[in-house]
Structure 1
Amino acid sequence: MIQGMVIAVGYEFYRHKRWRGVLTWQTLQSLTDVVTRRDTPDIGSPSVYDSAEKVEGPRTEIAKESSGDSRDIDDITNGVTSTLTGLFSGLPALAGPQRLASSLRQKFSNNSEAWRDSVLGAPRRLLTSIGSFSRDSSPCSAPRDEPLPSLPVPDLETTMQKYLAQIEAISPSHLEKSKQLVRSFLQGPGPKLQQFLVERRHNTANWATEWWLEDMYLTVPLGLPINSNPGLASRPKNFSTQRDAAIYLARFLMELFDYQETLDRNDLDVDVVKCREGRGTQKLCMAQHHQILKIYRRPGEIRDEQIILDRTTSGDHIIIAHHNQFYSIPVRASDRGRITESELIQQIQKIMETPADPRTPPVGILTSAKRPVWARSRSELMKNEQNRHNIELLERCLCVVCIDEDILPVTFNEPYNKNDRWLNDRDYANVLHHCLHGGGSRHLGANRWYDKTVHVIIGKDGFWGMTYEHSAGEAPAIFNAFEMLTEKVDSMPLTVENLVPSHLPSPEKLDWYINETSRCNIREAMTTFDALVEDLDLCILWFKDYSKEFVKACKISPDAYVQLALQLTYFRLHGRLVATYESASIRRFSKGRVDVIRAASPESLAWVKAMCQDDPELQNYTPDDGIKRVQFTIYSEQKIMELFDLAVKRQTKEIADNIYGSGIDNHLMGLRFAAMEICDNLPELFTDESFGIVHHFALSTSQVTTRNDTIVGYGPVVPDGYGCAYNLRKDSIIFSCSAFHSDGRTSARKYAQALELSLREMAAMLKTKNK
């Protein structure tokens, strides 16, 4: 029966020459195998402009229109109808083939490229739909209980061509050798590794995520603060008294407990985006939301481990850090239910009133160390029973709350404009420093436990923000929840009725046994962390000349526009392009996290050279050998605009390819991991210098668009690199630029200044075009 249906569908497509290059007899046999599986759901084809997390702007069809006539589709579907009518003649319980043909016509009549991407899933979708034809639903509708599609495995040759395009843009001297390596890979182990990924896709919820997590986080030995954990500074709060701060914090935590209970009941609304063709919606994977409050990253000497906590036995207490000391507060008990707001306020006040004790060992600083170092220090602590109890409480808590009594001094200020202020004398960079590292051991850096996913931070001067451990999830899942709960508390007056005296025991203070080895470990961690803190270079550009609304009015994706601005800025400063990382959400797929949107391309290189033609040294700079040629080209305004349009088109397609599962970074990572599993030696493609260059992300970027005005940022991911998070507001764009002082060639301030110039020149270019 199944084989007959596959052949019926396949034969009707095969009759048309235009489809034969895709649907070969070999593919048809594969379809017969695939259709019997239960894990080949609809991939769909939603639009790049409908991504709730990455891109805003007018929805535009990106994929090429089918070159064929719609009559082909009618002919095909009519043929399928006729064939399946015969197959169904003895099965009156199954719904009509005409309905199936209508579904076929709707799916395949718009876009040949979308059909190519999802053809392997078509038979399973058709069979699945047989039992549900009675439902009048959009083909892309997304009910809560419907499974998400699995992440596709991109086409091997396409990935290799995109890889070569990267090398052409950032390291052209390696291009010829890389072409030879790619050729050898495609003729050698490549197809076998590709098949390994295809089979893995059929046997796992997401073929990439487990490997990606290892590669991106768990095997990276760097310390978490600055290198990995992002920070968010929200608008400061106006606390008149310590009691006000305790009330605000308690109410936020009560809202957080409600949020966690919503997650426990599986009642959280599912995020959705429009389908690419604009009909109906497609839901997004919510796995990150459900794990952010029940996951812990435990250090290891070789690799870290993610501990997924059982909510039936953990998460019934919170940890509050104050003066580098940790306290545990139970928030639920089986015999009395959840703590009341009044009780929680009093527990928080007790901790706030506790004075600093200079004898308290700053144990939290150990979690800032390189992961193998912290793993060894942890093992030493675990030799003592009391320490084991403390660490277990820290690992199993719902979250860590940091009550910061110190205020970072103005030495952490780096004002882009002299009037930039966020909180009293503290500027934008100062409060981001506060989030990311707390000023190191000399200030608040030990008042943290960086392994825990969620850190809520409140300061006595009204500071309000957070930091989080990144392996658990991406910014939209965590920052959006934080802002939503903050908005709820902000709407409440900072008053309470007379507090009912609490009979709860005082918060449990976590006392530590520290031997000489652990004392040495703490001193070394303090020295190392303080050096990293001093090395971090931050500069915040709050660009107010225009916003994403101007870019959208020009019918350009704001994300593509900003990425090209970042390329122009880097080229202006360094005379070349580099591997650029921008996280691309792939939550359209089951267990999806991110892939990498790459902005360095031959098209963007041609455009930035044209934009810098007034500087012949930059325009003719050869990145590989540093030689500056004499000749250069004069570009007209029209030509520059044409090059810009090509760069925008290419970047917009790059965004689409990634968020719909056809990025190259997860694919290359998967091929490399597959080779480690089934090959005696890694193919030379993965060991050649060019592969390292393509993955040396000297420009690490991310669009983090928040609900309110917030400062969001992180450190560079390589010593000679920049970090640049950007927040697209309706009236402005906030850029958080970072670098390391020790490199000597990079400067966050210079990058911000050059970025402002780039944004103004690009606006002038567009305004000239529209005259």
Structure 2
Amino acid sequence: MAEAHQAVAFQFTVTPDGIDLQLGRDALRHLYLSGLVACRKRLIRLKSSVLSGVYPASPSTWFAVVAVTLGSLYGKLDPSLGLITKISNFLPGKSAISPVSRTVLSAVIFSSGVWISGILVYRQTLRILLSYHGWMFESRGKTSLKTKAWAGCMKIMSKRQPMLYSFQMSLPKLPVPPLDDTIERYLQSVEALLDEEKFNRMKTLAEEFKKDLGRKLQKYLHVKSWWSSNYVSDWWEEYIYLRGRGPIMVNSNYYAMDFLYVTPTSKQAARAGNAIHSMLLYRRKLERGLIPPVMALDIVPMCSYQMERMFNTTRIPGVETDRLQHLVESRHVCVYHKGRYYRLCLYEDGNLLSPRALQVQIQRILDDPSPPQPGEEKLAALTAGDRVSWAKARVNFFSHGVNRVSLSCVERGIFFVTLDQEEGGHREDDKDSLSLYAKSLLHGNCYNRWFDKSFSLVVYKNGKLGLNAEHSWADAPIIGHLWEFMLATDSFELGYTEKGDCHGDPGLDLPPPYRLMWDIPPMCREVIDQSYLTAKTLADDVDFYCTRFMDFGKGLIKKCRSSPDAFFQIALQLAHYREKGHFCLTYEASMTRLFREGRTETVRSCTKQSCDFVKAMEDPNETKENRLALYRAAADHHQLMYRLAMTGKGIDRHLFCLYIVSKYLGTDSPFLQQVLSEPWRLSTSQTPQQQLKMFDMEQFPDHVSAGGGFGPVADDGYGVSYIFAGENLITLHISSKFSSPETNSHRFGQRICQSMRDLAQLLTDPLRR
């Protein structure tokens, strides 16, 4: 066993003269290799930081500048116009250094100053260029001369291959929007949702806030924006995520699915081996900065800050607030199977285990017949239940002894792996298979995912994969980047043998994965059972419907000269109106990664324009021409709102931060209280795909992603996630609660599908004529 293997290398004996410590050669070898790997990683990180910090320059350009300067001096030319001589006069130790050496040293100092100045000028120039967002508001095919000139400059500025963090210091800060603009656009967003009396009352509250308290709070936000990298992100992370005391399962965590149609192997251990190996290859690239930054139009960099905490990160519970624990280094994953926990080492002699070796190790876990220890099976229910109960239990039962060691092993892992005993994925003969797959990934059985880890990799019995991600450390596109890399690497680079095994040699006879030991007393088991009951009640209440819409996809929508996202959001409003007979506040997630440390912003996609269109669609007396005109107006306005959100002119994060400042000052604002208390009964998000173009979707149409989803935000509302998977497929993930008599996920999903068909018919009629 692994325990015995470790014990022979490290022995000590207590004697009357003290402790006789004996270290075996194997232990010394492992200590040496561990230190060597740590030093090597520090050097790699240092190199990556230096190369990213001096981009677009490099150490070779520094040598070139120094060489040119020295060559000019040798040719009796002084490119410094006398500055080198002045530097020489200020250098100490005139008697110890020869005149020639002083001149050379002065030339090196001058050259270094020129080199650094060039980098700073480049950064400032790039920051100015990146602050221009006019390109986003121009119609396709109608590019202005200003935007063309800007694009040309951007291509020149980013011509040299950038590293992941090369542009971080050049990204502009998120601006604080003008208070008047935010309030005006807020009132516009709710005008169609409120009756005349309520709207006039809200307008009065807004005017009172704008005249007095709003100006004061705005000044505080400006001060914060001057000294912080991003005036929103730290407060958003703390108050929206980490201070939440309710369960994060369903309410916060989200999931991602495997390929919709393809399962490369049906062997659970083999698929897990390739998946884990692929993710570690990604981590290696991430640590070395070798992943290119995501670029809009292939020239505009997105912020990469959120990727730093992708691995080795765990959310640690607290009584009042949680915290994120991020480790610089970790070399193992924790694996859960049949109620048992294992520590799986991923490196041997400093080298990453091959996929085949990982398959062998995982198969050992699958073949282990030992039962769970008392209280071990449902232990992870603590991470699924109430945060306060988990925080207290962690202090009372997991702060000493074997429990502390084992919990540390789980929390310090690179990520968490669950080997499920059930099958997952889409099956053509089972219309409910996708919905069951989604529910399984969202909450499992409430104790077979460690919901506090940055993400848990789920490997099903039939070889299907999935992922459950904690939300506080980053947003879905970040984990989606890793997920795309893993799926493509697994299928197209690593591959499998004809028998479905991983390629490669199993290697040496490694010690088996280490079984974690627990000593869970009866009082702790009671807390675990209570957390499980809380989580089970929440999970059983989730009504999930996941379906494929195959009538058409973004290909047809684009032919109709419409944005696919605007098309879907308007169809969503039409479906909701048909179901409820009224409109509701709608949340659509947008990103602000054009700015440093940007995360998300809200697009309020229920607008006056979309409401006017929906009413026209439901009015049998309206003409098709008028409906089409109203649709175009609604789609154009939606696109405008989305672009404003992306370019730092959104309203909801601004209002949120104003509210936080008011709380810090101990001042109540009726206006802000009303704004922040409004429920989002429709919470929506589009899943990005093909962030990494590692394979051709047209050549491999079966390798479409099934996307991912999340739980409902409001008790009487819907959570809707959607992905335009290829040109002819839209996958919907719809969640609500069984406990609400006003919602039904299957019914609402069918209404959305019918609304999309009705919109397509409206938009394609003019094409036929």
Name the TM tier (shorter chain). 0.7 to 0.9
Match in the other structure for 1:465: 466
Instruction: Tell me what 1:401 maps to.
Output: 417
C-alpha displacement at 1:290, in angstroms? 2.6
Determine the structure 2 residue equivalent to 1:137. 156
1:752 lines up with 2:749 in the alignment: yes
Q: Which amino acid aligns with 1:304?
A: D
1:547 aligns with 2:553: yes
Which of 490, 493, 497 in structure 1 is aligned with 2:496?
Answer: 493
**How far 1:752 moved relative to its partner?**
0.8
Change (3 A) 1:239 1:191: closer
The residue number in structure 2 matching 1:717 is 713
Choose which of 307, 313, 318 in structure 1 pairs with 2:325: 307
> 1:354-369 alignment to 2 at 5 Å?
354-355=368-369, 357=371, 359-361=373-375, 362-369=378-385
Please give the alpha-carbon distance, in whole angstroms, between the structure 2 residues aligned to 1:574 and 1:567: 10
User: Is 1:318 the counterpart of 2:333 in the alignment?
Assistant: yes
Verify the 8 A CA contact 1:641 1:769 in the aligned structure 2.
no
Residue 181 (structure 1) aligns with: 205
- Report the residue type matching 1:731 in the other structure: N
Superposition pairs for residues 225-304 of structure 1, below 5 Å? 225-235=249-259, 244-274=267-297, 281-304=299-322
Indicate whether 1:767 and 2:764 are aligned: yes
Alpha-carbon distance change, 611 to 110 in structure 1, aligned in 2, over 3 angstroms: farther
Amino acid across the alignment from 1:457: V
Secondary structure at 2:245 match in 1: coil
Q: Judging changes above 3 Å, is the alpha-carbon distance between structure 1 residues 40 and 138 closer, same or farther for their aligned structure 2 residues?
A: closer
* 2:187 aligned residue: 164
1:331 alignment partner in structure 2: 346
Contact kept in structure 2, 1:317 and 1:329, CA below 8 Å: yes
Give, in angstroms, the shift of residue 462 of structure 1. Answer: 2.5
Change in CA separation of 1:156 and 1:141 when aligned onto 2, cut-off 3 Å: farther
Write the letter of the residue equivalent to 2:486.
L
Whether the 8 Å contact between 1:226 and 1:436 is mirrored in structure 2 is: yes
Contact 1:435–1:465 at 8 Å: present in 2 too?
A: yes
CA contact (8 A) 1:218 1:304 kept: yes
Q: Which moved more, 1:292-301 or 1:447-456?
A: 292-301
> CA offset at residue 38 of structure 1?
12
Cα distance in 1 between the residues matched to 2:160 and 2:436:
46
In structure 1, the residue matched to 2:221 is 197
Map 1:57-72 onto structure 2 (within 5 A).
59=140
**Residues 288, 477 of structure 1: 8 Å contact kept:** yes
CA drift of 1:653 comes to: 0.5
Q: Counterpart of 2:626?
A: 639
Q: Which residue is equivalent to 1:120?
A: none
Question: Aligned residues, how many?
Answer: 617
Q: CA deviation at 1:543?
A: 1.1
The 1:360/1:686 distance shift into structure 2, 3 A limit, reads same
In the superposition, relative to structure 1, how do residues 60 and 221 fare at CA in structure 2: closer, same or farther (>3 Å)?
A: farther
Q: 2:367 and 2:662 mapped to 1: Cα distance?
A: 58
Cα distance between partner residues in 2 of 1:648 and 1:425: 33
Aligned to 2:540, what secondary structure does the other structure show? helix
- CA gap of 1:421–1:341, structure 2 versus 1, over 3 A, is closer
Identity %: 25
Question: In the alignment, residue 686 of structure 1 is paired with which amino acid?
Answer: L
Cα distance in 2 for partners of 1:175, 1:769 equals 38
1:701 aligns to what? 684
CA contact (8 A) 2:313 2:414 kept: no
* CA displacement 1:184-208 (0-9 Å, x = unmatched): 1111021222222222112111111
Partner of residue 529, structure 2: 523
Counterparts of 1:687 and 1:240, CA distance in 2:
53
Tell me, in whole angstroms, the C-alpha distance in 2 between the residues paired with 1:176 and 1:426: 47
Give the deviation of 1:182 after TM superposition.
1.1
- Work out whether 1:584 is the aligned partner of 2:600: no
Q: Specify which of 646, 651, 659 is matched with residue 672 of structure 1.
A: 659
User: 1:651: which partner in 2?
Assistant: 638
Structure 2 SS opposite 1:170: coil
1:223 is displaced (CA, Å) by: 1.3
Deviation at 1:499, TM superposition (A): 4.8
Query: Which stretch shows the higher mean deviation, 578-587 or 246-255?
Result: 246-255
Task: Note the C-alpha offset of 1:106.
Answer: 4.7
The 2-side partners of 1:390 and 1:529 are apart by: 23
| Structure 1 Cα separation of the partners of residues 314 and 399 of structure 2 | 21
Q: TM-score, normalised by structure 1?
A: 0.75
- Give 2:240's aligned residue: 216
Contact 1:164 1:179 in 2 (8 A): yes
What does residue range 413-432 of structure 1 map to in structure 2 within 5 Å? 421=427, 427-432=433-438
The alpha-carbon deviation at position 646 of structure 1 amounts to 1.7
Aligned residue identity for 1:437 = H
Structure 2 contact 586–683 (Cα < 8 Å) conserved: yes
Q: Does the 8 A contact of 2:340 with 2:372 survive in 1?
A: no
Seen in structure 2, the aligned counterparts of structure 1 residues 557 and 61 have a Cα distance that, compared at 3 Å, is: farther
What corresponds to 2:108 in structure 1? Answer: none
| Aligned partner letter, 1:59 | R
Q: CA deviation at 1:136?
A: 8.8
Alpha-carbon offset, residue 346 of structure 1: 2.4
1:39 is displaced (CA, Å) by 12
AA paired with 1:323?
Answer: K
Describe the superposition over 1:672-706 as per-residue Cα deviations: whole angstroms up to 9, x where unpaired: 122223x3412221123x5422xx11111100033
Q: Does the Cα contact within 8 Å between 2:339 and 2:372 map onto a contact in 1? A: no
Deviations 1:398-439 (A, max 9, x none): 01111112347xxxx9xxxxxx8368786110111121111x
Distance 1:499 1:584, change over 3 A: same
Q: Which residue of 2 aligns with 1:682?
A: 668
Runs of 5+ consecutive residues of structure 1 not aligned to the other structure: 1-36, 51-57, 66-104, 112-132, 275-279, 414-419, 615-633
- Measure, in 2, the Cα distance between the counterparts of 1:572 and 1:673: 37
Q: Distance between the aligned counterparts of 2:476 and 2:504, measured in 1? A: 38
Q: CA deviation at 1:340?
A: 3.9
**Contact 2:271/2:459 (8 A) holds in 1:** no
- Output aligned runs, 1:724-735, within 5 Å: 724-729=720-725, 730-735=727-732
Cα distance change on mapping 1:259 and 1:497 into 2, 3 Å: closer
* Alignment equivalent of 1:557, drawn from 552, 555, 563: 563
Residue 692 in structure 1 maps to residue 686 in structure 2? no
Paired residue type of 1:406: E
User: Paired residue for 1:207?
Assistant: 231
Deviation of 1:247 (Å): 2.6
Question: CA offsets, 1:17-63, max 9 Å, x none?
Answer: xxxxxxxxxxxxxxxxxxxx99975422164489xxxxxxx73779x
Q: CA deviation at 1:768?
A: 2.6
Residue in 2 that maps onto 1:373: 389
Q: Deviations over 1:64-110 (max 9, x none)?
A: x9xxxxxxxxxxxxxxxxxxxxxxxxxxxxxxxxxxxxxxx958999
Q: 1:240 to 1:668 in 2, by over 3 A?
A: closer
Asked whether the equivalents of residues 274 and 502 of structure 2 are also in contact (C-alpha less than 8 Å), the reply is no
- Residue among 535, 538, 562 paired with 2:544: 538
Q: Is the 8 A contact 1:325 1:360 kept in 2?
A: no
User: In the alignment, is the contact (CA less than 8 A) between 2:687 and 2:707 conserved in 1?
Assistant: no
Change (3 A) 1:612 1:360: farther
Q: 1:478 & 1:298 partners in 2: Cα distance?
A: 20
Residue 308 of structure 1, CA deviation: 2.1
Structure 1 pair 298/681, CA: closer, same or farther in 2 (3 Å)? same
Mean Cα deviation higher: 653-662 or 521-530: 521-530
